[in-house]
Structure 1
Amino acid sequence: MDTDMELIRYHFSGFREQFTLPEDMYEGWVILSAQSGRFAFRFDEEGATWEEAEFGDLVICPPGKRLQRKTLEKLSFHFIEWRGDGHWLPGKMSIHDVGRLGSTYAYLREWQEQHAEERSKQEAVHLIRDLLYLARRETEKARQRKNEKADPLMRQAAAYIEQHLGMNDLSLQALALKLGVADSQLTRRFRAAYGMTPIRYATAVRLAKARRLLVDTEDTLDIIAEQCGYQNAFYFSRVFTQHMQTSPSAYRRAYRV
């Protein structure tokens, strides 16, 4: 989690017949995303073709690349520009969790409407991070689907990890034995399929479950630790803080919107 994200600007347009500028270049990373209607876009480079985007699509433009755009029908859109928070592939990314996307957009619009210049940008940063999390998750899912087809045994390995999250002694050796492969082969093939080791994958899935429980339940840290396969609340808090750069309690306060 990048702690140096800086919001340059956020704007919700309201309904427009056309963009004010048919093209522009930005100093930061940009997301252009329709709330309603459709638009076409392309990057100003040799061989670029026009693509269409509608609600559910995030068009990501990196710093210094010229983005061309035109409306295809009456349009309202979100415009976000920021610095930091990793590197993203330019182009269109479709978000399948449109319910969560719509909720995040609604909170961003509320933030803008309530005199955003007088409020802490940190609130908007939290919401924009959620958009980027959705984008990162879609990228990972697409890569996983591709690699799982190439190595179905590693899909079995991932499924085993997901089904046994509550085991605080989840063993790489036991998993390798169950699948009939050597420990080193399991680690190598799993990394090729998922971009991380089985142990790192287990940590990522445990923390994803922990984040959901922190936001959606009133469970104590002891209960959440047990459900996520950690020995106790102290160890869970230490791992969570190390990976998320914030404590479980602070995360719960920040994301319970």
Structure 2
Amino acid sequence: MPDRGPQEAVVLRRYDLTPVRDHFMYPTDRYPRWVLLAPVSGRFSYALSAETDQSRSRPFGAATGRCASGELILCPPGVRIDRELLEPSRFWFAEFDLAGGLEPWWPAGKVSVGDRQRLRANFRLLDESSAWRDPRRHHTRTHVLTDVLLTIGREHQASARPADTVAVQGAARLEQLVADPDSSVQAVADALNLSATQFTRRFREAYGVPPIRYLTELRLAKAQRLLLDTDHTVTAIAELCGYRSPFYFSRAFSKATGESPAKFRASRRV
């Protein structure tokens, strides 16, 4: 990529950070520029389809699935996107160009963001920017978009390396341990015949985060779904997500999301 400032590389054309909604205003659309669509909370289903990806002049095919917190959709120019909210949700929409003939450095379709703490910090900055005036507001929104795209590009480049099968096996074991309060990185490392230090190093190299943080993200993502999709008490949800203490669970949830579990549920149910 040419040596130029990141603010100069991305040109933000349209932007929206919605309140909680129960449906998309336009369930089907096709945009002339790149579009980023990310759930700040909640989930939506999507389908991308086009004969060609106009941004790369190659076959694009079709992609369908669900997008939840910590994930986002990058829709290339000219690609049709169909979407439907699966629950009351907030989402971030950005339509943008690349300046000076730059080529995209990110993948098209659904992307899972590894650095979710950074993504949440960017969402908070977008919320704060709504009270500001231009040009500060526009510069901030462009900065956040650029930062997210650079983060995705860096993580995608790293993920293009040959997969570490041991790290993949470790991730699968961690996913099975979400509800187990006795789970530990040491136990997973032992099962893979590695020391905890070796496993943590290899896992971080493969996924960009240490295994304990990966497990915490899985637990909190499950907690968010249970808060929105069930009437379980906070105590019951804490137990289902591997926390012995509802107080410790509430503290971890509040630190990660900026809201208590009760407030998170109340503000997103309509």
Superposed counterparts of 1:107-256, under 5 Å: 143=159, 150-256=163-269
**What do residues 109-149 of structure 1 show as CA deviations (whole Å, max 9, x unaligned)?**
xxxxxxxxxxxxxxxxxxxxxxx9xxx8xx98x94xx77x7
Tell me if the contact between 1:60 and 1:90 (Cα under 8 Å) persists in the aligned partners. Answer: no
1:121 — aligned with what?
A: none
Tell me if the contact between 1:60 and 1:91 (Cα under 8 Å) persists in the aligned partners. Answer: no
Letter in 1 for 2:263: A
Superposed counterparts of 1:30-179, under 5 Å: 30-31=35-36, 38=50, 40-43=52-55, 48-49=56-57, 51-52=59-60, 56=64, 58-60=73-75, 69=78, 80-81=93-94, 90=106, 92-93=108-109, 143=159, 150-179=163-192
- SS of match in other structure, 2:108: strand
Cα distance between partner residues in 1 of 2:81 and 2:171? 40
Letter in 2 for 1:30: V
Tell me if the contact between 1:12 and 1:76 (Cα under 8 Å) persists in the aligned partners. Answer: no
TM norm structure 1: 0.53
- SS of match in other structure, 1:42: coil
Structure 1 pair 8–39 and aligned structure 2 pair: CA distance change class (3 A)? farther
Shift of 1:227: 1.3
Cα distance between partner residues in 2 of 1:190 and 1:36? 31
Shift of 1:89: 5.3
Tell me if the contact between 1:31 and 1:59 (Cα under 8 Å) persists in the aligned partners. Answer: yes
Letter in 1 for 2:204: R
Identity %: 34
**What do residues 154-191 of structure 1 show as CA deviations (whole Å, max 9, x unaligned)?**
23322222222233342222322232112211111111
Cα distance between partner residues in 2 of 1:178 and 1:76? 43
Tell me if the contact between 2:49 and 2:63 (Cα under 8 Å) persists in the aligned partners. Answer: yes
- 1:12 and 2:26 matched: yes
Give the unaligned 5+ runs of structure 2.
1-14, 19-23, 38-45, 66-72, 84-91, 97-103, 112-147
- SS of match in other structure, 1:12: coil
Tell me if the contact between 2:48 and 2:64 (Cα under 8 Å) persists in the aligned partners. Answer: no
RMSD (Å), alpha carbons:
4.4
Structure 1 pair 89–168 and aligned structure 2 pair: CA distance change class (3 A)? farther
Structure 1 pair 185–49 and aligned structure 2 pair: CA distance change class (3 A)? same
- SS of match in other structure, 2:243: coil
**What do residues 206-235 of structure 1 show as CA deviations (whole Å, max 9, x unaligned)?**
111111211111110111111111121111
- SS of match in other structure, 2:232: coil
Shift of 1:50: 5.2
Cα distance between partner residues in 1 of 2:186 and 2:64? 42
Tell me if the contact between 1:225 and 1:232 (Cα under 8 Å) persists in the aligned partners. Answer: yes
Tell me if the contact between 1:53 and 1:92 (Cα under 8 Å) persists in the aligned partners. Answer: no
Cα distance between partner residues in 2 of 1:54 and 1:207? 30
Give the unaligned 5+ runs of structure 1.
1-5, 62-66, 96-131
Larger Rg: 1
